[in-house]
Structure 1
Amino acid sequence: MATALLMTVAAVLSVALGAEKPNVIFIVADDLGWNDVGYTNPDVISPNIDFLAKSGVILDQYYVQPLCSPSRTAFMTGVYPYRLGLQHLVVMNNQDVCVPLDRKMLPQLLKENGYSTHMMGKWHLGFCKWECTPTYRGFDSFYGFYSGGEDHYSKEVNGFDFRNNTEVCRDGAKNYSTYQYADRMEQIVRGHDPKNPLFMYMAFQNVHMPMQVPEKYTAMYPHIQNENRKYLSAMVTAVDDAIGRLITSLKQKGIYNNTLIIFTSDNGGWTSYGGNNYPLRGGKISIFEGGTRVVGFLHGPMLARKGGKFDGLMHAVDWFPTIAEAAGIQNKEPDQDGMSQWSAINSRGPALRQEVVYNLDYHSLPLQGQAAIRVGDYKLIEGFPGMYEGWYKPDTVYKEPLGNLTLDLNNLPKLNIGEDFHVFKYLFNLKDDPTEHNNLYDKLPDVVKMMEGKLEAAKKRYVAPNFPSADPKSNPQNYGGVWTPGWC
């Protein structure tokens, strides 16, 4: 262990003293569940992802938020979304909302330190004004869509949404989005000047609904009877092929050996659309483990120890400072919640993080979970934990706690805690009970008291959700049928 730690320190010092900074590829798979990749579930075909994970460092106790905009906020700012008013559901296309402009984003920090910065795929951090959009927030280029989800082929979501930098890109409707992002990745790598380090944020729409994928991928899963599960598995394999193309392009360019690849989901799998987190409890939109504990890993020759797992506690907010340290950049951003895990991951030593706040949301409709915190091995949930309460195997169709409710985020149902939902209190020991079967709330009052004190401390920094009503000025019909910034 001492040797590994010395190697880590030496590697960081060499970067700080002016050695070549690593390229960083940050890959997000949308709605990918705990049980949705080959290295956790051999029924899923993902050889490239499995290779990167198994020859890198798998993050075994890694958490994100229960929905996508909050997690992406955490990735980009190193700040819990409940402290920015972005913890409630997601940013809607028609809302006057984006990540606060006074918060520096990760690509801005990297760009200031010599990185070429590029993004492909899903933004979902607000776009009502141009200053909110990727090329105004640190990215040299952007190829993708501003909203939270759309048709993978037509790029329509009650309006057209696909951009090449700031320009509307009608050519985006000509192919499957995952193919297009792989093409752009290859283009950027081929054209990259290796004199500068590269940061590429690849935010795939897969495996987010609608369930669409070329037929050749569904043909790989003839044994799966559940149609959504078949399509989701096929969509994973399509992403895996794109990642294989990335690996090849990095090697052909001669920069693979100086590239750190990071892979993460943005929340747990959405069980209504084929996602699966078994044996973890719950799914996307809940603060049970299935909605928040996700697959993630790092891969790269600069890692001091490769293979195996890092079992220290880690959260999405940690990526900002971790990447900064890996790049030898002094992170001076004030008041972040993130902690650099770089040395701990390389040494497999104890993580700095001992606590994770799953969510704090006291809005009238916290479908994605009201309040939960983990301290050490214990997890406390207070209030409604979210829509998905059970343990869902991948081959079954489920009716969820709200019956046949379709979660249309533009037309939310009128529901009230205490009338439509029970108020829950849970205490779990996640070391002994990672699948959250045994509620200890009434058995360990001293632990509950300690945990409630931690939760109260977190509440002192709580910012009420910024979740305004739809603004009619956003209507894409005002802009030729295209979702367009500039109306707020």
Structure 2
Amino acid sequence: MEMTRILSCLCICLFLIGVGSVKESQPNIVFIVADDLGWNDVGFHNPDMLTPNIDKLASGGVILNQSYVEPLCTPSRHAFMTGIYPYKSGMQHMVIYPEQPYCSPLNLTFLPQKLKKLGYDTHMIGKWHLGMCKWECTPTYRGFDTFYGYYQAQEDYYNKTVLGGLDFRDGKEVVRDDKTYSPITYAKRADWLISQHNKSRPMFLYLPFQSVHEPIQVPKKYEDLYPNIKTDGRRKYSGMVSALDEAIGNVTDSLKRNGMFDNTFIIFTADNGGWPTYYGNNYPLRGGKTTVYEGGTRASAFIYGAGLTKAGYTYNGLIHAVDWNPTLVAVAGGQPDEDIDGINLWEEIRSGSASKRTEFVYHIDEIFTPFEGHEAIRVGDYKLIQGYPGPYPGWYKPDEVTGDQGVEKTDYRHASYLRFYRSANASIELGAELFNLKDDPYEHNNLARDQPELVKKMEGILQEYKKHLVPAMHPPEDKKGNPKNFGGVWTPGWC
């Protein structure tokens, strides 16, 4: 009898030790998204950019040389959270405007919901932009324990307003008195969360910064870091990048002070390419935000930290935004879903082995007009574009602008998006474009006329993908959502 009790106690102890070891093996995960950051807007691609904190993490981790996202931010964020291509969920057309009554479908399971089941505390700081017309669409209903940030696409970096309404929340509560430059505010909140965190549990921190989306605003001390840049907007934008870099440095310093850094896995990625109209730069890549050329979809990105068995190099394997969902579930020790588009690439990116991803959909937007609607896929080294690729067909050096600077910018729903379809830059040849990205990574040579059989083959592959297309949700804006109806605050509960 005594021996039975001893064996029973021993089994319990071994079980508890096992549970403890599982918890200890789960790294903290910090997922940083930079809004509208260009390929050429980080120091590890362009030494003229002053990003020492980003560069240190990138050089000590793994620079992702072929990490792809969607050409606009709502689709990319949907892909990050769900692991599903936007065109399969009706999330493919443009972005969610403030008064549009829809959100990322509520029947889909978001990444933080999966991580919570694995024992993670989940926090979000920054930009949502996945819909807010009803509370069920918002972050704390979709898996985040805490939320500190804003719902819409953009806002003033200081007073936190957009289109006449305040848009800033701590959970569900409105924050009215914060006038601090937002990267500083977000880094301070991250420091507080990290300091308060129960270190016996793993943390997931989703940190989609507002920076460096327009409006172009930055404290002068950061702008002054770039005295040699003559273009006023590019100089301010570059200062915004350096302010973002400082905020990221402050977050990593907090992880170190609180003894969490060595057991933290960090992902850094842009949500789409830089926006040439607002001084973002993707050179030497072609195009920019809103386009399916490489400049709109090939993200500045890296990984760093816990779990990597090889670091200090550049990884050339293919990665797509949908892959982060299953990959991070695997990082957390879970079993990734098999019925999503994302591929678990954890073993590949941690060890430097060949990527399992060999093809992907850049974007499918079936709403075709003379100046919108496009489809693009990559299969191996080849890329096929059909339709209107987007309003930035060229290669823009950092101090070049795109000719539409004089257009009124007061209403971003039109001035910052829809006006591109009237842009002088839209005068490009439509139809199929075929590129060999291995030989021609900057998309100078359209091979469509020379290789019609390959075009036909890739069109067939694209049609197979399109069999799963869900019509785009893009309803008219509803004035019931206007902040005037809620005391001047953007508020859910009207759809």
TM-score range normalised by the length of the shorter chain: over 0.9
For residue 427 of structure 1, give the secondary structure of its aligned residue in structure 2: strand
What SS does the corresponding residue of 2:316 show, helix, strand or coil? strand
Match of 2:104 among 95, 99, 104: 99
In the TM superposition, 1:92-241 aligns within 5 A as 92-158=97-163, 159-172=165-178, 174-241=179-246
Question: 1:415 deviation in Å?
Answer: 6.3
Give me the TM-score of the superposition, normalised by structure 1: 0.93
Q: Does structure 2 conserve the Cα–Cα contact (< 8 Å) formed by 1:26 and 1:261?
A: yes
Match of 1:85 among 85, 90, 107: 90
Which of 355, 358, 374 is the equivalent residue of 1:351? Answer: 355
- Which residue, out of 445, 456, 472, partners 1:449? 456
Cα separation, partners in 2 of 1:460 and 1:408, compared to 1, 3 Å? same
Matched, 1:336 2:340: yes
Mapped to 1, the partners of 2:401 and 2:94 lie a distance apart of 24
Give, as a single letter, the amino acid of the residue that structure 2 aligns with 1:441. Answer: A
Per mean C-alpha deviation after superposition, the further-off stretch among 405-414 and 115-124 is 405-414
Do the aligned residues in 2 keep the contact of 1:339 with 1:352 (CA within 8 Å)? yes
What does 1:390-401 correspond to in 2, within 5 Å?
A: 390-399=394-403
For the structure 1 residues 339 and 16, does the alpha-carbon distance in structure 2 shift closer, same or farther, using more than 3 Å as the test?
A: farther
Query: Could you report, residue by residue, the CA deviation over 1:247-302 in whole angstroms, capped at 9, with x for unpaired residues?
Result: 11111111111000100000000001110000000000100000000111100042
Equivalent residues of 1:359, 1:369 under 8 A apart: no
Unmatched 5+ residue regions in structure 1?
A: 1-12
Matched, 1:295 2:311: no
Separation (CA, whole Å) in 2 of partners of 1:19 and 1:366: 55
Aligned-pair CA distance for 1:364: 3.8
Q: 1:220 and 1:403, CA in 2 relative to 1: closer, same or farther beyond 3 A?
A: closer
- Asked if 1 retains the 8 angstrom alpha-carbon contact of 2:83 and 2:342, the reply is yes
Identify the match of residue 264 of structure 1 among 264, 269, 273: 269
* CA displacement at 1:330 relative to structure 2: 1.3
Q: Does 1:384 align with 2:388?
A: yes
Give 1:431 deviation, angstroms: 0.2
Alignment match, 1:5:
none
- Look up the match of 1:9: none
Q: Deviations over 1:129-170 (max 9, x none)?
A: 000000110111111100000100111111110001101100
Tell me which amino acid in the other structure corresponds to 1:181: Y
Q: 2:478: which partner in 1?
A: 471
In the alignment, which residue of structure 2 is the partner of 1:428?
435
The structure that has the greater radius of gyration is 2
How far off is 1:348 after superposition?
A: 1.5
Shift in Å at residue 228 of structure 1?
1.5
User: Is 1:373 aligned to residue 401 of structure 2?
Assistant: no
Distance 1:331 1:293 in 2: 25
Contact 2:27 2:263 in 1 (8 A): yes
Instruction: Return the offset for 1:369.
Output: 5.2
Q: State whether residues 287 and 393 of structure 2, in contact with CA within 8 Å, keep that contact through their aligned partners in structure 1.
A: yes
CA distance in 1, matches of 2:371, 2:403: 16
Give, in angstroms, the shift of residue 395 of structure 1: 1.3
Structure 2: runs of 5+ lacking an equivalent: 1-17
Seen in structure 2, the aligned counterparts of structure 1 residues 373 and 69 have a Cα distance that, compared at 3 Å, is same
Secondary structure at the aligned position of 1:428 is classed as: strand
Q: Partner residue of 2:10? A: none
Classify the secondary structure of the residue corresponding to 1:119.
strand
Match 2:487 to one of 458, 470, 480: 480
Question: In 1, Cα distance between the equivalents of 2:390 and 2:408?
Answer: 14
Amino acid of the structure 2 residue aligned with 1:388: Y
Alpha carbons 1:91, 1:125 under 8 Å: kept: yes
Relative distance call for 1:454 and 1:187 in structure 2 (3 A) is same
> What is the Cα deviation at residue 235 of structure 1?
0.6
* In structure 1, distance between residues paired with 2:160 and 2:280: 22
Deviation at 1:347, TM superposition (A): 2.3
CA distance in 1, matches of 2:80, 2:413: 23
Question: Is 1:252 aligned with 2:257?
Answer: yes
Cα 1:289–1:420 shift into 2, 3 Å: closer
Q: Distance in 1 between matches of 2:408 and 2:463?
A: 33
Please state how far the C-alpha of 1:356 moved relative to its aligned partner.
1.5
CA shift at 1:112, angstroms?
A: 1.4
What is the Cα-based RMSD across aligned positions, in Å? Answer: 2.2
Secondary structure in structure 2 of the residue aligned to 1:363: strand
CA contact (8 A) 1:56 1:306 kept: yes
Which SS does the other structure have where 2:244 is aligned?
A: helix
Q: How many residues align?
A: 472
Cα separation, partners in 2 of 1:443 and 1:351, compared to 1, 3 Å: same
In the alignment, the residues of structure 2 paired with residue 431 and residue 76 of structure 1 have an alpha-carbon distance, to the nearest angstrom, of: 30
Give the whole-Å Cα distance in 2 for the aligned partners of 1:181 and 1:382: 40
| Deviations 1:439-463 (CA, angstroms, capped at 9, x unpaired) | 1001112211211111111110111
> How far off is 1:414 after superposition?
11
Letter in 1 for 2:461: K
Task: Report SS of the residue matched to 1:231.
Answer: helix
% same residue: 54
Q: Per the alignment, do residues 276 and 421 of structure 1 end up closer, same or farther by CA in structure 2, a change over 3 Å counting?
A: closer
CA distance in 2, matches of 1:415, 1:426: 19
Q: Describe the superposition over 1:452-486 as per-residue Cα deviations: whole angstroms up to 9, x where unpaired.
A: 11111111011111000011111110000111000
Given the superposition, is the C-alpha separation of residues 227 and 167 from structure 1 closer, same or farther in structure 2, using an over 3 Å criterion?
same
Query: Deviation at 1:423?
Result: 2.5
* 1:427/1:359 CA distance change after superposition, 3 Å: same
In the alignment, is the contact (CA less than 8 A) between 1:35 and 1:278 conserved in 2?
yes
Following superposition, the deviation at residue 409 of structure 1 comes to 2.0
Alignment partners' CA distance in 1, 2:280 and 2:370: 21
TM-score, L = length of structure 2? 0.92
Q: Work out whether residues 58 and 297 of structure 1, in 8 Å CA contact, stay in contact via their aligned partners in 2.
A: yes
Shift of 1:403: 9.0
Cα deviation 1:109-142 (Å, max 9, x = unaligned): 1111111111111000000000000011011111
Q: Is the 8 A contact 2:391 2:421 kept in 1?
A: no
